[in-house]
Every structure is written in structure tokens, then in C-alpha cells.
Structure 1
Amino acid sequence: MLRIVNRVLIGLVGLVLVVAGGSVLAVGLGVDPPSWWPHDGTHDVLLSDAERTRWRDADWWWPTVIAVLAVLVLLALWWLTAVLRRHRLAEVLVDTGDGEGALLRGSALEGVLTTEAARSNGIERAHARLTGRRSAPEARIRLLLQPHVNPGDALNTLTTQALAHAEDSAGLAALPAEVRLRGAGHRAERVR
């Protein structure tokens, strides 16, 4: 959801900046602007002296400007932290069966998934990452397959071994996974 909001906001801000900047540039280059456009000549400034000093004597002007700018800065900082925030799962809630729960570090489960997937036959390299919520984790796994491996067999082995063991050990009902497979290139070998 946050990714969609991020893209829409970036698109809207970009569109507004391109339209405003392009129209100011067009007027500056001598294109006749429409009648509603506030700047009508190539030597017209964006803010005249009258526009800049219009609200100087009003007591409410500067506190309002500062409050609006502060809200904009806070929104920009929130947006920045939301974009830069780690999307990894820090911990997984393990059902212990006694009504209580235990917390398992996400990095530990990622390490086990990576190690077990890398040990599978035909896997040259593996990397696992957990996302989602701590009560409903999801895995993202990247596998680099050796040249001779059937991708279907590698995926089946991963599902029946590494993912099944992770589900069982963490007491999860399911561990949905997105698996990305990539084949390793053939290396030239000398035949004797």
C-alpha cells in the first residue's frame, strides 16, 4: 500500500513541477500565455514587490506560513522515513501451544532458510528475506541454479524441504514464499 501511495505522490509532485516549470519557461521564451495565467511577459517576475509585502502587517500571516511549512517538513520527513524504512521482518511470533508465544529473530529464520536452500542439490547460491507481519511472515527467496538443474525440481525441493521445515519449526500455519530463480552461466571446461 505504501509503495502505491509513494508512486502516486511522486507522480503528482512531478507532474505539478513539470507543468509549472514548463509554463514559466514557455512564457520566458516568448510564448503567449492564456488569459488566466498570472505572468504575461518575458520580463515579468514570479513575485512582485507588492505580492511579497502584501501580508507583512497582518499578525496572522507569519505564524500561518511557519505552521504550514512545519507541517510540510514533517510530512516530507515521514515520507522519507517510510521510504527508507527497512522492509525486513525483525521477529516472528512462534506459537508455543500454551497460549503464550515466543519471539524468533527474523534474521535467524532467514539464515536457516538460506543455509538449507543452498544445501539443496543443484543450488549454487541462495538468499532469503522475511517480510510481512510477525504473526504472518512471508519469504522472498532468490536462488542461483547450477546450469544442469531443472527449475521445477529445484522449486519442489525448496518447497518440500526448506520451507516446510521453517513452517514446522516456527509453528506457522503457512509460509507464503516468492521465489526468484536464475540460472548460472555455463563455464568453459577443457575436455581431455
Structure 2
Amino acid sequence: MLRTVNRVVLTLAGLALVGAGGVVLAMAADLPSRLGVGLPADWSWRGPDSAVLSRADRLHWQGESWWWPVVIGTLAVLVLLALWWFLAQLRRRRLGTLDVDTGDGGAARLRAGAVEDVLTAEAESLPGVERARFTLVGRRGGPGARVGLLIAPQARPRDVVHILRDRTLENARVSAGAAELPAEIRLRATRHAADRVT
């Protein structure tokens, strides 16, 4: 979900910046008059020496009672959305520690790196997996996992994912005492160079 939001936000921001930059560049280079393009009659920015907004445009809405609440409200919403987006990036960081249920009502705090090493070693022992990398993300009490697997050319990806889910991820979930352990798994196949026959 967050990755999709990031892509949409960055795409929209990029398009807005490219569009605004193109307009500024065109007006600064006086392209409309050089190319004979007619601008709308109420367009105040007509060339490099004119203002983006005329004085009348800048002062037009100031006398209206709704103007300042709308401006301040819009800016406040934009700031809150930017703050939410920034905090969402921090939440997805790699975990430093992990809370594990000890079974007696308490919890033990483990270093996430140590848990990742154990999960990586277990995943690399699975058939068809040549290399693995586990990263724990989310919150200490409700972690998730990002898994990168390098699989052998003859391995069937579906079988590798099922075995990883049923063994390694299920063992990790039970050990952590978590109701669920969402995981994002990325697979890459090993590429072996062809043997040279002479």
C-alpha cells in the first residue's frame, strides 16, 4: 500500500514540477510571442518582464470573508498530508528490536538482526534456495518481513514460496507469538554461465 502511495505521490509531484518548470521556461524565453501563440486575454503573464499575477489578481479575493480560511485550511491539509507521508516512511524502516512472547504473560526483547540471521540461515537450508535475505519491518509488537530469495535454476518458484511460508515463516510467527507475520517475498533465479565446449 505504502509503495503505491509513494509512486503516485512522486509521479504527481514530478508531473507538477515538470509542468510548472516548462511553463516558467517558456515564458522566460518569450516562446509564445516568438512562435506566434495567442494567450488568453485575461492571462497576465505575457513575457519575461511581466508578473505571474497582476496586482488586481493578487488582491481580488482578499476582501472576501471565506478567502483566508480556505487558504489556511488548504495549507494546513497539505502540511498534515506531507507529515503523514513522512511518518509513514519512518514506520516502514527496519526493526531494531523485536518483542517475543515468552509464554508466561511477559515478553522478551530480541535484537532484530539476530532474528534475521536465524531466519536467513533457515531459509538458505530449504531445497531450491541458494541465498536468502530477511529484513524485519513494521512494529516491535506486530512485525512483518521482507524476504529476498535467490533460487536455483531448476527450482520451482511456487514450491519454494510454499515451503518458505509453511516452514520458515510459520516457525518465526509461532516463535514470536504473533497472530500473523505478513511477508513480501521477492524471487530471483540464479544465472549460470554456459559451459564452453571445445
Structure 1 residue 4 displacement after superposition: 5.3
Q: Is 1:46 aligned to 2:51, yes or no?
A: yes
Whole-angstrom CA distance in 1 between matches of 2:48 and 2:187:
60
2:42 aligns with 36
SS at match of 2:188: strand
Whole-angstrom CA distance in 2 between matches of 1:16 and 1:156:
43
List aligned pairs for 1:1-192, cutoff 5 A. 3=3, 6-27=6-27, 28-29=30-31, 30=33, 31-40=37-46, 42-46=47-51, 82=87, 85=90, 87-189=93-195
Unaligned runs of 5+ in 1: 52-67
Query: Does the CA-based 8 Å contact 2:157-2:187 persist in structure 1?
Result: yes
Structure 1 residue 153 displacement after superposition: 2.8
SS at match of 2:146: strand
The alpha-carbon distance between structure 1 residues 182 and 98, as it changes in their structure 2 partners (threshold 3 A), is same
Structure 1 residue 25 displacement after superposition: 4.1
Structure 1 residue 172 displacement after superposition: 2.0
Whole-angstrom CA distance in 2 between matches of 1:38 and 1:99:
70
How many residues of Structure 1 are paired with residues of Structure 2 in the alignment?
Answer: 171
| Segment of structure 1 superposing worse, 11-20 or 173-182 | 11-20
Please, what TM-score do these two structures have when normalized by structure 1? 0.67
Whole-angstrom CA distance in 2 between matches of 1:148 and 1:8:
37
C-alpha RMSD over aligned residues: 3.7
Q: Which amino acid in 2 is paired with 1:167?
A: R
| Segment of structure 1 superposing worse, 78-87 or 119-128 | 78-87
SS at match of 1:188: coil
Q: Which amino acid in 2 is paired with 1:110?
A: E
Whole-angstrom CA distance in 2 between matches of 1:117 and 1:87:
22
Structure 1 residue 26 displacement after superposition: 4.2
Structure 1 residue 5 displacement after superposition: 5.2
Please, what TM-score do these two structures have when normalized by structure 2? 0.66
SS at match of 1:98: coil
Identity, in percent, stands at 46
Structure 1 residue 141 displacement after superposition: 1.0
SS at match of 2:153: coil
Structure 1 residue 122 displacement after superposition: 2.3
Structure 1 residue 155 displacement after superposition: 2.2
The alpha-carbon distance between structure 1 residues 22 and 37, as it changes in their structure 2 partners (threshold 3 A), is farther
